[in-house]
Amino acid sequence: MRWLLLAIVAVVLAVSARASVLRPATALPGSHFNRGQNAAWLDIVWANDPHTQEEIRALGEKLERNQIRHVFVYVSYLKDHGQFNPTYSYAKQFTRVLKGAHPGLDVQAWIGLPLARAGQADVNGYVDLSDPGTRAKVAAFCATMVQSYGFDGIHLDAEPIDDGDESVLLLLEEVRTAIGPAKTLSIATRRIWPFLPDMPWPTMNRVAWSSEYYREIARRANQIAVMTYDSALPNAGLYSFYLRLEVVELTRALESSGAELFIGVPTSREETRTHRPEAENMHSGLQGVIQGLNDEDAKPAVVTGVAIYPEWETDEADWAVYRSLWLGQDTP
């Protein structure tokens, strides 16, 4: 059944791609759209494990060299017993050294919230954001991260979020109140290709959002980082085309919203039923982003930059592709 559904998706994308040959588009390089304001998700080891000042400064140098301005540092997730996992023992030292050496970086605490979906049993999800007490606990933890651990803001990773979920909007409002107006509030989002009808295909748990819900999120968050991977697409060409259409839809939805938009680009080597590294990778991801920004229907000014996931699996070959395609830098 899974392969049949994948075949259906592939056929739909292929037909759409064939029809898109005559879509008006420019051929500008990625460097034309790059603003030097890109992002990356960082491993929990930076908050949980000790590192020397030299190691932390070297990380900062690598980020700045690759024009990564915003970093989402994984610090914790809300566990099923209602407490946050204590995996941030060295977070204060990390932010102090990193920001001291590289004050231009925007360093955010990445917080995981495995959500229980309404009306569905989910062994992996248990956080109920409809509960005011749970939202208050999350908001208080966010305040601690910015007030006591030196983070510039909060990056919420709540999954999966249903389209129109009011409790997520309430959480954003309450976290904003807790951390104050001067701190960055961002959220990671996922979205199924909007042109496909609802069907139980492998990425069904990444629920498509309406443009209206994206705008409601943007009214409450400073930044939106779209995790566009785990598409279940079988090859790089289809994945690039999928990203092209996603960029068009997202930029049109968020035009004039005021929120910064980051498009996720995958570098993970992990092979799963929804992620094939040969299909979803730095090259195919950037190709899709660039094609989308060149599409006549897109609003390229809406995109602040790309977001690399995960930084800890991004090797030098990946960075070379990134510097060539996105920064416009020649690499040896």
- Tell me the residue type at 76: S
Measured distance between the N- and C-terminal CA atoms of the chain, rounded to whole angstroms? 46
Q: Can you give the residue range of the structural domain that contains 315? A: 29-327
Do 248 and 295 meet the contact criterion of CB atoms below 8 Å apart?
Answer: yes
How many independent structural domains does the chain possess? 1
Q: Is 36 left (phi over 0), alpha (psi -120 to 50) or beta?
A: left
Is position 24 within any domain? no
Is position 96 within any domain? yes
Is position 5 within any domain? no
Q: What are residue 24's phi and psi, to 5 degrees?
A: -65, 135
Is position 13 within any domain? no
Residue 218: C-alpha distances to residues 13, 225, 272, 309, 327 (Å):
29, 11, 31, 21, 27
pTM of the model: 0.91
pLDDT given at position 231? 86
pLDDT given at position 253? 94
pLDDT given at position 202? 40
The secondary element (H helix, E strand) that includes residue 136 is helix 132-148
**What are the residues facing 309 on neighbouring strands?**
266
Q: Rounded CA gap, 219 and 306, in Å?
A: 21
How many CB atoms sit inside 10 A of residue 36's CB?
Answer: 11
Total residue count of the chain as it appears in this document: 332
Do 25 and 241 meet the contact criterion of CB atoms below 8 Å apart?
Answer: no
Is position 14 within any domain? no
Is position 6 within any domain? no
Is position 23 within any domain? no
Print pLDDT tens along the chain (332 aa).
444 444 445 445 544 544 455 578 999 999 999 999 999 999 999 999 999 999 999 999 999 999 999 999 999 999 999 999 999 999 999 999 999 999 999 999 999 999 987 655 456 799 999 999 999 999 999 999 999 999 999 999 999 998 899 999 999 999 999 999 999 999 999 864 555 444 444 444 345 788 999 999 999 999 999 999 988 899 999 999 999 999 999 999 999 999 999 999 999 999 999 899 999 999 999 999 999 999 999 999 999 999 999 999 999 999 999 999 999 998 65
Q: Are strands 38-42 and 106-114 parallel, antiparallel or unpaired?
A: unpaired
CATH number of the domain enclosing 209 = 3.20.20.80
Is position 16 within any domain? no
In this structure, what is the dihedral angle of CA atoms 274, 278, 279, 284, given to the nearest 10 degrees?
Answer: 140
